[in-house]
Amino acid sequence: MAKDGKKNNVSAENLVETVKRWNEQITAGADKDFGRPLEKKDKVAFEGREAPIISRPIGEGPYYAAELYPAILNTQGGPKRNKLGQVLDPFGNPIPRLYSAGELGSMWGHIYQGATNNSEACVFGRIAGRTAAGEQNW
């Protein structure tokens, strides 16, 4: 985000203040704005990754903002993927150099939560990109 917020009409000060408020509340042990739980025992987020922590403080910046809009277009299913974004074969082994992000192999496939498509695509796109960048050349 531009320091002046001109790229998406979000003031940098508002973004920094929102992150600061979130961090203070979560560190104090409660989401006072929305009442979301901080932990859930025995929750598996996706294949090979347990995720009992639901909410935690956001680290130091830089922070970025993107405008997202709800949409109806959606798919579910596809191949499973692991926590590195690698697509798994039917036996649970990573298929070399095959990655996925977003809805393809979604971690929400069995417990779909609406409105996660954009964020999941961003998160797993970054995870898969980092994993792919670490591959040895053929």
Round to whole Å and give the CA distance between 84 and 48. 10
User: pLDDT of 62-87, one tens digit each?
Assistant: 777 777 776 655 556 678 888 898 99
Four-residue CA torsion sign, 46, 48, 52, 55 = negative
Both tokens assigned to 16: 């920094």
* Rounded-to-integer distance, Cα 87 and Cα 78, Å: 10
3-state secondary structure of 93: coil
Which residue in the block uniquely carries the two structure tokens 């639901």?
A: 54
Answering whether pTM is above 0.85, one says: no
Q: For residue 34, is pLDDT > 80?
A: yes
pLDDT value at position 115? 54
Give per-residue pLDDT as tens, 36-46: 777 766 555 55
Domain boundaries, the chain: 1-67, 71-138
Report whether pLDDT(110) > 60.
Answer: no
